[in-house]
Amino acid sequence: MARDPDTIQREIEQARDALASTLDELTTQANPKRLVDNARAGAVAKLNEPKIKYPLIGVGLLIALLLLRKLFR
């Protein structure tokens, strides 16, 4: 049974709108600036955890002390 051309046209427009919406969403998700911002926020959050933060401070102080010791010897 043949379909009505108007129905076919409406279905094509609906499919086109759905595809455009999906493409816009993918473009937003794959935005390099957004990806960098998310990675940076994740790294900062991870570095602010006490399990990570305090050992890093300790290592930094140790390196600073070793450098000062070497400079004044």
Whether the model clears a pTM of 0.75, i.e. scores above it, the answer is no
**Is 9 inside any structural domain?**
no
By C-alpha distance, which of 17, 63, 49 is closest to 71?
Answer: 63
- Distance, in Å, from the CA atom of 41 to the CA atom of 10, rounded to the nearest integer, reads 44
- Distance, in Å, from the CA atom of 2 to the CA atom of 51, rounded to the nearest integer, reads 68
Count of alpha carbons within 13 angstroms of residue 52, beta-carbon side: 7
- Distance, in Å, from the CA atom of 14 to the CA atom of 26, rounded to the nearest integer, reads 18
Q: Residues 43-63: pLDDT tens digits? A: 999 999 999 999 999 999 999
Q: Residues 2-43: pLDDT tens digits? A: 678 889 999 999 999 999 999 999 988 888 899 999 999 999
Number of domains forming the structure of the chain: 1
**Is 10 inside any structural domain?**
no
**Is 21 inside any structural domain?**
no
Domain that holds residue 65: 35-73
**Is 18 inside any structural domain?**
no
Tokens standing for residue 20: 């455009």
Q: How much is the pLDDT for 50?
A: 93
